[in-house]
Structure 1
Amino acid sequence: MVAGLLPAAISYISKLIVDAVVFASQVHSQSNGFVNIYPSLSYVGLEAIAVILLAGSQRGITICQSLLRALMGQRVNVLILEKALTLDLRQFEDSEFYDKLTNARREASVRPLSLVNRTFGLVQNALSLFTYGILLVNFSGWAVVVLILAAMPVFISETKFAGEGFRLFSWRAAETRQQHYLENLLAREDFVTEVKLYQLGEMLLGRYRNLFDQLYGEDRDLTLRRGFWGYLLGLVSTGAFYLAYAWIVLETVLGKISLGDMTMYLTVFRQGQSTFSNALTSIGGMYEDNLYLSNLYDFLEEEVPKSWGKATIGLNPQDGIRFENVSFTYPGNSKPALTNISLHLKPKEKLAIVGENGSGKTTLIKLLTRLYTPDSGRIFLDGLDLQEWDVDVLRRRIGVIFQNFVRYQFTVGENIGVGDVEHLESKNRWQTAAEKGMAQSFIDQLPQSFQTQLGRWFKGGQELSGGQWQKIALSRAFMRSQADILVLDEPTSAIDAQAEFEIFNHFRAITQNQMVLLISHRFSTVRMADKILVIENGEVIEQGTHEELLQLGGRYAKLFLLQAAGYQ
């Protein structure tokens, strides 16, 4: 408000200074005597105070904007991340959803702040225009009309091009994600080894440049058109100012207004024109900001999957896990990932699932952990439909290690601790889980044991071998000491056969009271299971014990003999 009101006051004080100086000069030339210079100097002092206050208010606005930028950018990013936590895995595997997320995040920390700043700027400009209008009306109402009309063409042009720019921005989300992906391939440590060995650098950089050239070409065309029309229509405002300039000068020459009035009106008209143009720019900018914020609103209004289950205990704890004619097809796919899957795993039983890659083994685990919902059929835990369970209670009962487990750039202890976030910092649990996962021996040899930073992203980080990482992930699954279901998806694929055999002998001994679902390609381990399920093309084709399946002489027996032959 202060910054909005003071400019007109300064213009008026400038008029008083000029008029006081002119009056004092006339008195001095007529009397050749004493001249009272105090009115002129007092006005100068008054203007100096006003300028100091204006500078202080503008500096205050800058400080507030700087602080607000940090707070608001953080708030909006937290809103996006909080929303992401509520969404389903299905949405994260959808490319259109990623486009929506990319559009929301690209301008998330800029547009909300811009909208707020422009809103306050509009209030400030409105106050300035109101005071300028009062001063200009004393000269002529037509001057106010000219002031308003002169700024309109630029406003219309900018608003039109803002809409075009937004449409261009929205259409290119996929290309922008491709650019970011190529940057990651060229600059991330987990990709750099293969990029160098396969000499992919120049090819990837070429693609990056081609994408930039494509996007730059569109941006350049829009920028040139926007600049050309902005300049052309800006000449209208310039012409209007000099028309008003000539008018005010003429009125001064004819003696209708004083020299001080001329100085004030010229200042007011120029500043008023600039202020009105800024006000219209703020309105156009607010329109543009709202266009971009519509992407944020679309993301924040993304439908959240309903999780209506509230149950915390089952109807029959002795029933274990039961699949009844479960079928599932991934969104966007025509071929089912699973078809009419039926199985029963009783408490304390160990079930091994075998099959070729793409046969649906991991999909079955995703359904059990409620990352997806079956299209048909039902899954029961303790005699209660999985959909009726409270999803947080359900997942606390399950310890999982997926084949593509995350290698967190955290300390060793935290890498294990994430298996049970409620006990993330529990050193006793870290140690117990590491012993169960057979990771304790190499952890003791690390520079700071459980406090050793893993990965190369941060200072002092240590890199582990693939087998050591898998033991860390296996330990992570054991963090949930209350979990009565363990799910292991290829948990030892990076570990040699002898170490794997030892791990599973140890593993069977420490999981006597837990249900275990094990996915593995190595038949030396799956034969330890109480029951083996053979899946092919999303269907169960065989199930039974290792001996039963060998006697059957079907798919399992063939795969087992092929693998056994490789060791002879």
Structure 2
Amino acid sequence: MMRANNGDTTKTSRKEVRFGTVRRMIGHIRAHDPAIFAYAATNALTTGIEPLLSVFALQIIIGQMTGAQAVIGKVLITIAAYIGLSALLRIISIKANTLSWSRFAYLRMEIVREMFNKLLTMDYANYENASFFNERQSSFEAVSNNNNGIEGIWHRFFDLSGKVVSIILLAVVISLFNPLIVLVLVLSVAVSVFVLQKVSVFRHDMRADISQAYRRVSRLYETSSDFSYGKDIRLFDLRGRISDLFRREIAFYKDVVTRIVNKEFSLSLYSALASVFAELIMYGLLVYGIINGRLTIADFSMYLVAVSLFNAKLREAATDIGFVRDQILYVEDMYEFLDTNLITENSDKPFSADAPVRIEFENVSFKYPGTDRYVLRNLNLTIEPSEKLALVGVNGSGKTTLVKLLCGLYRPTESRILINGTDYLDMKLSDLQNLIAMVSQDVQPLAFSVAENVAASEIVDRERVEDCLRQVGLWDKVESLPRGMDTTVLKVLDENGVVFSGGENQKLMIARALCKPGTQMMIMDEPTASLDALA
């Protein structure tokens, strides 16, 4: 979604949104799989303690080896104890990670299902609005894979808990020598976090351009790999044109990515300088401790390892925080999509028609959203009960638009449409659409069985399906298939599925319209374009 960058959105409100999003993400886990918190706590303790174990083990081993009475047996026992305890902690941590991974994936897929349900029920007008999908692309990026978006943040939170424990414990140890080291390293990492935040905001601001280029390249790829376009591409020599479009869109995408990389590089210089400055102070203080006799060789080794681990854990945590602050922008878009009402409700008043219906377009005008040109203007049309009516007109005259209005896919811009004297906006949309069986000019069967395509349901009246297939002249073809009407259409989900010809697909859709129960209107929007003369 588009975000305001002016005074309307203050820093405080943005922080509130961020914290609200984090609370909602954690609340989602609490509501659906609270066992994850136990795994996270286990992981935090095991991975948090392990670095400290390395620090003290090193000090003890070096102390034993450099002492006045070095005993090789004690050294070996210490090493064995360290390896055994470290291995135990790592095994527990890996087990906790393994158990949580599939649970995070399941939670993400539940959100994907919720988003798909929203797409399936939103107003049809959004499907024909390219800008809608450009703006919503970032919403779907939040659930696109395991490593980014909401699941990526959950994984980072899971790992971050152990790093925080390590950072706290190591900070306590280092502060026993010189707390200035802790302060300097924290300030250095704070600069890195600031840089990562600036880069993530810039990248997110460029998301509209990236989404546009990605959708265009994806569409070109689908076109070039779709066999239905193969003949035209070859017969009309369209390969060069498609290649040119590919190059243009890839060049545009490259330009956007280059701007992001250049921004990241320029800001990363500050992070690099801060890191070098911090390390100079850190190592200088440790060396000075050796010179003035405050540190023994064992102590120096311990603090050197502790400082190195502390610095590494801080930077890993900073990277995780930067990742979260980057990806949470897309999660916010996702929640905004889920919270936005994309359904224009009709009345909830039920409507039933036991007899043929009378349809009246009463001075109807219509223009598509975002345009100023009227497709229909002051249309008056009455269709009497049981009347058969053909709409004839030149291409682009509004015939299909009229059908979309009648089916409730769009609403009139001006005036109203009456069904048996009732404004159809005063009817439940589902009741209106239950009255209508429609076959469009662009037919697309679903990757279900033949029977499910015709019945439009998992509950199939097989006798009714067979009767409808006989009426359209498709039964002989279906009966000859290895699994009859249970054969899957298309090869998307079943490699043994059947791919019907264009005319057979249209017959299949006409059979579906005939099979729909309770209909009072049959609408044919040029559904016979691919049928042969006999059909």
- TM-score, structure 1 normalization: 0.79
Q: How does 1:242-281 map to 2 (within 5 A)?
A: 242-281=280-319
Q: Which of residues 96, 111, 127 is equivalent to 1:92?
A: 127
- Equivalent residue number for residue 523 of structure 2: 487
1:21 matches 2:21:
no
- Secondary structure at 1:325's aligned position in 2? strand
- Equivalent residue number for residue 449 of structure 1: 484
Measured against aligned partners, the alpha-carbon deviations of 1:538-567 in whole angstroms (never above 9, x if no partner) come to xxxxxxxxxxxxxxxxxxxxxxxxxxxxxx
- What is the one-letter code of the residue matched to 2:188? A
Measured against aligned partners, the alpha-carbon deviations of 1:417-444 in whole angstroms (never above 9, x if no partner) come to 22xx263x33222112212333223333
Measured against aligned partners, the alpha-carbon deviations of 1:419-471 in whole angstroms (never above 9, x if no partner) come to xx263x33222112212333223333444432344445552344433322221
- Equivalent residue number for residue 56 of structure 1: 91
The 1:231/1:60 distance shift into structure 2, 3 A limit, reads farther
Deviation larger for 218-227 or 12-21:
218-227
Following the alignment from structure 2 to structure 1, what is the Cα–Cα distance between the partners of residues 334 and 281? 45
Following the alignment from structure 1 to structure 2, what is the Cα–Cα distance between the partners of residues 396 and 295? 34
Following the alignment from structure 1 to structure 2, what is the Cα–Cα distance between the partners of residues 179 and 459? 27
- Secondary structure at 2:519's aligned position in 1? coil
- Equivalent residue number for residue 4 of structure 1: 48
- Deviation at 1:345? 2.9
Q: Which of residues 314, 319, 331 is equivalent to 1:293?
A: 331
- Equivalent residue number for residue 472 of structure 1: 508
Q: Is the contact made by 1:100 and 1:295 (CA closer than 8 Å) also made in structure 2?
A: no
Identify unmatched segments of 5+ residues in structure 1: 29-34, 500-568
- What is the one-letter code of the residue matched to 2:166? S
Following the alignment from structure 1 to structure 2, what is the Cα–Cα distance between the partners of residues 236 and 310? 63
Deviation larger for 55-64 or 322-331:
55-64
- Deviation at 1:167? 1.9
- Deviation at 1:200? 0.9
- Deviation at 1:232? 6.6
Following the alignment from structure 1 to structure 2, what is the Cα–Cα distance between the partners of residues 196 and 167? 40
Measured against aligned partners, the alpha-carbon deviations of 1:397-423 in whole angstroms (never above 9, x if no partner) come to 2211111121334433233222xx263
- What is the one-letter code of the residue matched to 2:526? E
Following the alignment from structure 2 to structure 1, what is the Cα–Cα distance between the partners of residues 185 and 140? 39
1:156 matches 2:194:
yes
Following the alignment from structure 1 to structure 2, what is the Cα–Cα distance between the partners of residues 222 and 334? 37
1:45 matches 2:80:
yes
Q: Is the contact made by 1:100 and 1:299 (CA closer than 8 Å) also made in structure 2?
A: no
Q: How does 1:98-497 map to 2 (within 5 A)?
A: 98-109=133-144, 110-223=148-261, 226-227=264-265, 230=268, 233-234=271-272, 236-314=274-352, 320-418=358-456, 421=457, 423=459, 425-455=460-490, 457=492, 458-497=494-533
- What is the one-letter code of the residue matched to 1:80? M
Q: Is the contact made by 1:19 and 1:258 (CA closer than 8 Å) also made in structure 2?
A: no
- TM-score, structure 2 normalization: 0.83
Q: Is the contact made by 1:72 and 1:112 (CA closer than 8 Å) also made in structure 2?
A: no
The 1:148/1:495 distance shift into structure 2, 3 A limit, reads closer
- Deviation at 1:228? 6.4
- Deviation at 1:347? 3.1
- Deviation at 1:269? 0.3
- What is the one-letter code of the residue matched to 2:50? L
Q: How does 1:516-555 map to 2 (within 5 A)?
A: none
1:77 matches 2:112:
yes
Identity %: 24
Measured against aligned partners, the alpha-carbon deviations of 1:491-522 in whole angstroms (never above 9, x if no partner) come to 222224453xxxxxxxxxxxxxxxxxxxxxxx
- Deviation at 1:356? 2.0
Identify unmatched segments of 5+ residues in structure 2: 1-43
Measured against aligned partners, the alpha-carbon deviations of 1:102-122 in whole angstroms (never above 9, x if no partner) come to 232234232111222222333
Deviation larger for 132-141 or 303-312:
303-312
Following the alignment from structure 1 to structure 2, what is the Cα–Cα distance between the partners of residues 309 and 497? 44
- Secondary structure at 1:326's aligned position in 2? strand
Q: Is the contact made by 2:196 and 2:322 (CA closer than 8 Å) also made in structure 1?
A: yes
- Deviation at 1:65? 5.7
The 1:345/1:411 distance shift into structure 2, 3 A limit, reads same
Q: Is the contact made by 1:317 and 1:383 (CA closer than 8 Å) also made in structure 2?
A: no
Q: Is the contact made by 1:430 and 1:479 (CA closer than 8 Å) also made in structure 2?
A: yes
